[in-house]
Amino acid sequence: MSANKESWGSRVGLILAMAGNAVGFGNFLRFPVQAVQNGGGAFIIPYLVCFLLMGIPLLWIEWSVGRFGGKFGYHSAPFILNSLDKRPFWKYLGVFGIWSNVAVAAYYCYLESWTLSYVYHSVVGSFSNLSQTQIADFFSDYVNLNVSTSGIPFEPIVFFVLCLALNTWVLSRGLSGGVEKVAKIGMPLLILFGMFLAFKGFTITAGENGAINDSAVGLNFLWTPNFESLWSPKVWLAAAGQIFFTLSVGMGSIQCYASYMRSKDDIALSAMSAGWMNEFVEVVLGSSIIIPIAVGYLGIDNVIEMTKSGGLGLGFRTLPYLFYQWGDVLGAVSGVMWFGLLFFAGITSSLAMGTPWMSFLMDEFKWKRESAALSFGVIVFVLGMPTVLFFNYGVFDEYDYWSGTVSLVVFAMVEAILFAWVFGMDKGMHEINSGSDIKVPNIYRFIIKYITPTFILLVFLSSLVTPKDGNWDAALRGNWVLDDSSIIRKITNAGLKEQIAAATDAATKANLE
Ligand code: PHE
Ligand code: NA
């Protein structure tokens, strides 16, 4: 039991903080790229099915598990899980729910610091009058830590520290005094900026300002359904992965936020509100900005090619240039709005990643809020430095894979089983519905008990042994070669072993000298 009596200031504040937790880079950078890579219109059906059968149930589970643990004074996953069942191993599994937040924060906050820096550069006009290549090079120079043109030495590190200091400061002010305030300011601004940019994305006309396509070309590509890829497990896997990441489920951060609710507060409707707000920002705003704008100026084939290396290139190398096609003033204004929007999306998520770690220290070791916040900043700095220093060696992606993808699925599987099968659906449904403004339809009793865990299990097993190029057809006909992206292959990856061996060699040598 802790002396920690903190709670949310208002219901609106809680919902905005939860929506802020969910709305992040996933909505604006990851979603459009996933959609393009998985066949545009083909992606959206599996995506929506995953949202309804896996996303919403997990939101209800996590909100109610969190509020339940909070009644006993617990605010971090190990103890929250343990309050549903007394066997101690749940506590150890719960460590996932602290660890993955810190690990994701390590690369997420680094990305967040780029947005801060790019707001600054848009304001001072660093991108005006630069050619497309120069703006792309600006980014490469930046992530490679080349001494910047703005005269700030090691600018990425300066902004990384600044960004962490900002997070630490907000976290030290508490939930209602810090996190909630940032969400109340940041979320409306994000939606406003997003609407403006989506409006621009919607009104691109071939022949104007150098555009070669109307907005419709990009939008149609995203939204014309292609039913064939419904049979592709690869598309389903990508859709499920996106739902996990975008809703922030399987992390432990939702449970932590929910543990600060009052025991009579509504869950069923609030969880849906935050979840649907994330979907609006993702499906409506997220798909109306980078894709239609980039396709409008560069054409579909180029854009498909560019998304092969993820969403970061489009967002940071290409858009700042395209904005200037609208003139110097609108170019700068759009830059500020785009990177400002990304910054708010980022900080409201990274604050959520800081809270579980802090709650753990405050509950168990009676740390003061300020020291706990500071320790988060320091840990993220230490864990984040490898992504800063070795960005080009794929460290960033490696973090994203293990902590931002695999770990979420494992943890969600654990908690869905704990909730539906150990705690039990009678108590479970009671928890979800108690204090609620709406009653969850009874069909969800069945879905939460059978469909959701099966779904998660399938996602997990198929990522464990993904066949080459995601070609399940061939694999099932006996030709089973593991793809490089399968978890098993990654664990036993020869390349990785070589890297480690080389690093150990170098270390031994250094020791001998
Ligand atoms: N949901 C966030 C996004 O879409 C990412 C996130 C994951 C945030 C886990 C908090 C916890 O970017
Ligand atoms: Na999201």
- At residue 312, the pLDDT reads 86
- At residue 493, the pLDDT reads 62
> Which of 349, 353, 403, 411 has most ligand 1 atoms within 8 Å of its beta carbon, as the pocket-test mutant?
349
> 0.90 exceeded by the pTM?
yes
- At residue 4, the pLDDT reads 52
**From ligand 2's centre to the CA of 365, what distance in Å?**
32
Region for 206 from its dihedrals, namely left if φ exceeds 0, alpha if ψ lies in -120 to 50, beta otherwise: beta
Please state, in angstroms and rounded to a whole number, the distance separating the CA atoms of residues 253 and 376: 14
Ligand nearest to the CA of 354: 1
- At residue 283, the pLDDT reads 95
Please say whether the dihedral angle defined by the alpha carbons of residues 480, 486, 492 and 493, taken in this order, is positive or negative: positive
Nearest CA to ligand 1 atom 11: 248
- Any alpha helices (H) in 210-327, and if so which ranges? 215-223, 233-247, 253-258, 268-279, 290-298, 300-307, 311-313, 319-323
Tell me the backbone φ, ψ of residue 129, rounded to 5 degrees. 60, 20
Please state, in angstroms and rounded to a whole number, the distance separating the CA atoms of residues 62 and 85: 15
User: For the segment 328-376, what is each residue's pLDDT rounded down to a tens digit?
Assistant: 999 999 999 999 999 999 999 999 999 999 999 999 999 999 999 999 9
Please state, in angstroms and rounded to a whole number, the distance separating the CA atoms of residues 482 and 488: 8
User: Pick from 32, 29, 15, 63: which is nearest to 346 by CA?
Assistant: 29
- pLDDT by residue for the chain (513 residues), tens digit each? 444 578 999 999 999 999 999 999 999 999 998 898 888 888 998 999 999 999 999 999 999 999 999 999 999 999 999 999 999 999 999 999 999 999 999 999 999 999 999 999 999 999 999 999 999 999 988 988 886 667 677 899 999 999 999 999 999 999 999 999 999 999 999 999 999 999 999 999 999 999 999 999 999 988 888 787 778 777 888 898 899 999 999 999 999 999 999 999 999 999 999 999 999 999 999 999 999 999 999 999 999 888 887 778 899 999 999 999 999 999 999 999 999 999 999 999 999 999 999 999 999 999 999 999 999 999 999 999 988 888 766 777 777 777 777 888 899 999 999 999 999 999 999 999 999 999 999 999 999 999 999 999 988 888 777 777 777 777 777 777 777 777 777 776 645 555 556 556 665 655 554
Nearest CA to ligand 1 atom 9: 248
> Which of 245, 249, 344, 403 has most ligand 1 atoms within 8 Å of its beta carbon, as the pocket-test mutant?
245
**From ligand 1's centre to the CA of 24, what distance in Å?**
6
**From ligand 2's centre to the CA of 23, what distance in Å?**
4
Q: DSSP characters for 143-202?
A: HTTPPPTTS-TTHHHHHHHHHHHHHHHHHHT-IIIIIHHHHHHHHHHHHHHHHHHHHHHH
Ligand nearest to the CA of 353: 1
**From ligand 2's centre to the CA of 26, what distance in Å?**
5
Nearest CA to ligand 1 atom 6: 248
- At residue 334, the pLDDT reads 98
- At residue 1, the pLDDT reads 42
- At residue 2, the pLDDT reads 46
- Cβ–Cβ under 8 Å, residues 33 and 311: yes
Ligand 1, CB within 6 Å, residue ranges: 21-22, 24-27, 104, 245-246, 248, 251, 253, 349, 352-353
> Which of 18, 112, 248 has most ligand 1 atoms within 8 Å of its beta carbon, as the pocket-test mutant?
248
Please state, in angstroms and rounded to a whole number, the distance separating the CA atoms of residues 40 and 36: 5
- At residue 133, the pLDDT reads 93
Ligand 1 atom with the smallest distance to the CA of 22 is 1
Tokens encoding 283: 């499906």
- At residue 148, the pLDDT reads 66
Reported as half-sphere exposure (CB side, CA atoms, 13 A), residue 56 has a value of 22
User: Pick from 488, 458, 456, 482: which is nearest to 470 by CA?
Assistant: 482
- At residue 503, the pLDDT reads 59
> Which of 58, 246, 255, 355 has most ligand 1 atoms within 8 Å of its beta carbon, as the pocket-test mutant?
246
Ligand 1 atom with the smallest distance to the CA of 345 is 12
**From ligand 2's centre to the CA of 246, what distance in Å?**
3
Give the CA diameter of the chain.
70
- Cβ–Cβ under 8 Å, residues 128 and 332: yes
